[in-house]
Amino acid sequence: SKPATVQDIASVLVPDIYGNNPSPEEIYRLAGDVQPGNSGGPLLTTDGLVAGVIFAKATSDAEMGFAITMDDLYPVASQAAGMSAPVSSGQCIQK
């Protein structure tokens, strides 16, 4: 993959997967070639450390993408080791 450049860090309202319930998230705005399928991939520093996780590309600019910062992800990710119960893989639909 090609390197991306962090353009800035911003706090924005990000809706859930249904377009509802926006919540404030700290994000990186990236200049780079973010493509469908990159979501969930790491944003790495030049030292190879994970700085964030890619979650979207801009609809208005083909060379812009977005990543959630580790500051926002860490509270959730730090609980992952203790989670082992299976979850439904059912349909992703709004009820």
Domains of the chain: 5-13+23-79 (2.40.10.10)
Annotate 53-83 with DSSP letters as a single string.
Answer: EEEEE-SS-TTEEEEEEHHHHHHHHTTGGG-
- Among residues of the chain, what percentage have pLDDT more than 90? 44
**pLDDT number for residue 3:** 83
**pTM for this predicted structure:** 0.76
Residues 66/55, Cβ–Cβ less than 8 Å: yes
Average pLDDT in the chain: 88
The predicted model gives 71-88 an average pLDDT of: 86
The predicted-structure confidence for 29-60, as pLDDT tens digits, reads as follows 999 988 888 999 999 999 999 999 999 999 89
Helix H or strand E encompassing 28? strand 23-31
Which of 63, 64, 44, 53 is CA-nearest to residue 26?
A: 53
